[in-house]
């Protein structure tokens, strides 16, 4: 598996309140870095590679807390931020295009897209059937405070954080 690449680049830009259009501007560089990483592991001898896509970041506690709004139209049916999830879809679509190119470049390698977005959505949709409380499905598992159990000052692993 090629590790998640680009998440910190996107986090840094978005948490500095860059516009979605500005952040979309770095997607080609991130996707190029992912392609280069895939090439590298294949050139090292890998014959099967999983390339993970991005999560629906609009469902993550850090984003839900930071970009919280009273505008109900900003949220989808899972109470995730639509604009941020649209950005994740944009990234994932560009990544899947790159994977198609890599498959042509390396026909003897098995290169698979890891659809984290769809898997995460499945978990949200099926939370009650899996024993999760629907109200807490978007909360951080560790942390403190707020609607999503997330506080930038007291993140998981910090002293006094359960």
Tokens 């002293």 — which residue? 159
CA–CA–CA angle 7, 8, 13 (5° rounding) = 105
Mean predicted lDDT score pLDDT of the chain = 93
The answer to whether 36 touches 98, Cβ cutoff 8 Å, is: no
Question: How does pLDDT run across 146-156, given as a tens digit for each residue?
Answer: 889 888 888 78
β-strand partners of 58: none
Q: What is the pLDDT of residues 93-138, one digit of tens each?
A: 999 999 999 999 999 999 999 999 999 999 999 999 999 887 788 8
**Arithmetic mean of pLDDT, 41-66:** 96
The tens digit of pLDDT for each residue in 84-95 reads: 999 999 999 999
By the 10 Å C-beta count (0-12 exposed, 13-18 middle, 19+ buried), 135 is classed as exposed
């Amino acid at each position: 598996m090629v590790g998640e690449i680009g998440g910190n680049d996107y986090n840094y830009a978005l948490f500095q309140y860059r516009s979605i259009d500005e952040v979309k501007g770095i997607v080609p560089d991130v996707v190029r870095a992912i392609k280069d990483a895939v090439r590298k592991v294949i050139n090292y001898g890998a014959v099967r590679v999983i390339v993970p896509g991005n999560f629906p970041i609009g469902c993550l506690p850090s984003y839900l807390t930071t970009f919280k709004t009273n505008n109900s139209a900003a949220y989808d049916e899972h109470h995730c931020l639509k604009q941020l999830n649209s950005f994740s879809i944009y990234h994932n679509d560009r990544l899947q295009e790159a994977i198609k190119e890599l498959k042509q470049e390396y026909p003897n390698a098995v290169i698979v897209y890891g659809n984290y977005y769809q898997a995460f959505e499945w978990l949200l949709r099926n939370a009650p059937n899996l024993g999760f409380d629907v109200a807490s499905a978007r909360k951080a598992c560790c942390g403190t405070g707020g609607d999503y159990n997330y506080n930038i000052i007291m993140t998981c692993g910090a002293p006094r954080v359960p």
